[in-house]
């Protein structure tokens, strides 16, 4: 999903869940810097839109449905691999379920072909009908701004040879392509979504050779048995 997809999706979530709040996940503490080792815990401002957290590509954002919940933190000892030394950091509590963690993608790379960075969405729920219904509402909103099956094909990179359509029966994918991202890919024949180093990506079908399934083998006509 591109940045415009995240903005649109965020507005859709605002309308559906007006009490939900968002905050940027703090630095995990794998390095010694002022963000982690300040005498006072860093502030985690809670905002009402996914991108109001002012984060860049690949930043992690939490969505909290409980309007009364506030993050708690405590000091903990920690080993900093980059400095090969022990120290301490602030550890923050995770929000209670249901909650969502976003890793926002959208920044564009040029090599080996133009492709946006990949984000992800993880929904945490308790095993009860209320949480499951809420998760269903969430993903129905996502379906308004992205698709994981409509008019998309997997291609080889860099040849753009079609390998298989996306989201066919029995092959539903968890890779959701935002509609702005799809339009971005459509503008140039060498742009792909969800590029992987093995040499594959996803393209909208309008700009690639239509997928033609291989012909089914003809059924053999059984020969009549004759008695000798």
What are the pLDDT digits (tens) for 101-150? Answer: 999 888 899 999 999 999 999 999 999 999 999 999 999 999 999 998 87
pLDDT digits (tens, 9 = 90+) for 74-112: 877 766 655 555 667 777 888 999 999 999 888 899 999
DSSP, collapsed to helix, strand or coil, labels residue 139 as helix
Cα 195-198-199 angle, rounded to 5 deg? 60
**From the CB of residue 152, how many other CB atoms can be counted at a distance below 10 Å?**
23
What is the rounded average pLDDT of the residues 15-26? 91
Contacts of 81 (CB under 8 A, 6+ apart): 30
Give me the sign of the Cα torsion angle 99, 118, 90, 48: negative
Q: Which of 13-27, 53-67, 153-167, 191-205 has the lowest mean pLDDT?
A: 53-67
Torsion of CA 166, 169, 170, 174, to 10 degrees: 40
Higher pLDDT, 207 or 186: 186
C-alpha dist (Å) from residue 93 to 4, 33, 39, 134: 30, 20, 18, 22
pTM of the model: 0.78
């Amino acid at each position: 999903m591109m940045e415009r997809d995240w903005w649109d999706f965020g507005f859709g979530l605002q309308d559906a869940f007006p009490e939900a709040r968002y905050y940027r996940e703090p630095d995990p503490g794998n390095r010694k810097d002022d963000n982690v080792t300040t005498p006072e815990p860093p502030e985690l401002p809670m905002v009402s839109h996914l991108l109001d957290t002012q984060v860049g590509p690949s930043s992690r954002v939490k969505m909290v449905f409980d309007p009364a919940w506030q993050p708690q933190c405590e000091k903990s000892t920690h080993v900093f691999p980059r400095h090969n030394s022990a120290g301490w950091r602030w550890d923050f509590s995770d929000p209670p379920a249901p909650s969502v963690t976003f890793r926002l993608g959208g920044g564009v790379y040029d090599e080996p072909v133009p492709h946006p960075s990949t984000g992800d969405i993880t929904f945490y729920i308790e095993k009860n009908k209320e949480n499951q219904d809420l998760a269903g509402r969430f993903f129905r909103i996502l379906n308004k701004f992205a698709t994981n099956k409509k008019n998309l094909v997997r291609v080889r990179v860099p040849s753009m040879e079609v390998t298989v359509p996306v989201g066919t029966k029995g092959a539903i994918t968890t890779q959701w392509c935002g509609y702005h991202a799809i339009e971005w890919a459509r503008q140039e024949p060498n742009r792909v979504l969800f590029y992987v180093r093995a040499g594959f990506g996803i393209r909208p079908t309008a700009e690639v050779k239509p997928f033609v399934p291989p012909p089914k083998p003809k059924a053999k006509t059984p020969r009549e048995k004759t008695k000798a």
